[in-house]
């Protein structure tokens, strides 16, 4: 059995940056709080917790005058989180991905110009919630073409469009085309990150060459979910697994070529464990 690994898989620069900053901060000896999940991967979050970093779902969980450090996740947060943290006298260490920062700035800029901000993204996702906050709550979230169809927009409105950074390129372009049909002058900003595009394109390339495709990543991870959808769309049997424990060896029976890719928040050690198990199972 041949194993084909996508050229771009696993930690992107933004996630690796956030992870390294978090580890370095943990070594400071101070109380370190992580708002939500630094990245959407349980193994990474568990690793950080093992280093003494405490995860909180709200700043209200942090004791007053803790003199602690707050880690802002790679997905970013709305502006009010910064104000709340300063009021609690927390030192803020911001690991927001630079691509997400760019999208946040565009959301604010469009809102300041009086535009309705249309965000192509997953409703309820942490990054999207942050983008809504930066738009001054003037944003609407569109997941599907139906969502675009039902937007109540008049042709004379100022409308801007941005993307959650992990959206599929083809989907964003279809959404943009649909919005242009509703509004005569729409400002389109493609804020999909470069790492996302590389992972998607190389994953699809590998999926087209193999009999079975494995996508490694957490169920929480939007970019991993997108990889799974895109690989499955090629017609190749595709399975998403979080760790090697979820690898079903029955999938491997009779397969000549198995492809492997991983989401941008999947650590190298998790990928290696899967690859090693595939090598051991090569005789099936």
For the chain, residues classed under CATH 3.40.50.11270 are 13-97
Which residues are catalytic, by number? 127
Statement: residue 23 has pLDDT above 70:
yes
What local confidence, expressed as pLDDT, does residue 121 receive?
96
- What gap in Å lies between CA 141 and CA 171, rounded to an integer? 14
Mean pLDDT of the chain: 93
For range 251-273, the mean pLDDT: 95
CATH says 13-97 is which class? alpha beta
What local confidence, expressed as pLDDT, does residue 244 receive?
96
Residue-wise pLDDT tens digits, 114-168: 999 999 999 999 999 999 999 998 899 999 999 999 998 887 889 999 999 999 9
Q: Is the pTM of this model over 0.95?
A: no
What local confidence, expressed as pLDDT, does residue 138 receive?
82
CATH says 2-10+195-280 is which class? alpha beta
Statement: residue 196 has pLDDT above 70:
yes
For the chain, residues classed under CATH 3.40.1010.20 are 2-10+195-280, 99-188
Residue-wise pLDDT tens digits, 28-40: 888 999 998 888 8
CATH architecture of 99-188: 3-Layer(aba) Sandwich (3.40)
Statement: residue 111 has pLDDT above 80:
yes
Statement: residue 284 has pLDDT above 60:
no
The model's confidence at residue 283, banded by pLDDT at 50, 70 and 90, is very low
């Amino acid at each position: 059995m041949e194993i084909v690994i996508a050229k771009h898989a696993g930690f992107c620069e933004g996630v690796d940056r956030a992870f390294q900053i978090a580890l370095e901060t943990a070594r400071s000896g101070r109380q370190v709080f992580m708002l939500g999940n630094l990245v959407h991967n349980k193994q990474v979050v568990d690793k950080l917790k093992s280093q003494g970093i405490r995860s909180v779902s709200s700043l209200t969980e942090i004791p007053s005058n803790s003199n602690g450090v707050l880690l802002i996740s790679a997905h970013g947060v709305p502006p009010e989180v910064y104000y709340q943290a300063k009021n609690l006298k927390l030192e803020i260490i911001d690991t927001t991905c630079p691509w997400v920062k760019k999208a946040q700035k565009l959301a604010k800029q469009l809102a300041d110009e009086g535009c309705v901000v249309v965000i192509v993204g997953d409703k309820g996702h942490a990054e999207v919630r942050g983008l809504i906050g930066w738009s001054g709550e003037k944003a609407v979230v569109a997941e599907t073409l139906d969502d675009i169809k039902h937007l109540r927009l008049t042709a004379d409105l100022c409308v801007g469009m941005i993307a959650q950074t992990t959206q599929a390129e083809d989907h964003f372009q279809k959404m943009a085309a649909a919005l242009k049909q509703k509004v005569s002058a729409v400002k389109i900003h493609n804020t999909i990150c470069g790492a996302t595009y590389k992972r998607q394109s190389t994953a699809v390339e590998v999926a087209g060459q193999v009999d079975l495709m494995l996508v490694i990543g957490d169920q929480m991870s939007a970019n991993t979910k997108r990889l799974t959808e895109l690989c499955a769309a090629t017609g190749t049997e595709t399975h998403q697994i979080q760790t090697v424990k979820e690898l079903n060896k029955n999938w491997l029976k009779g397969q000549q070529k198995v492809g492997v890719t991983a989401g941008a928040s999947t650590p190298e050690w998790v990928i290696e464990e899967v690859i090693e198990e595939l090598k051991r199972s090569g005789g099936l």
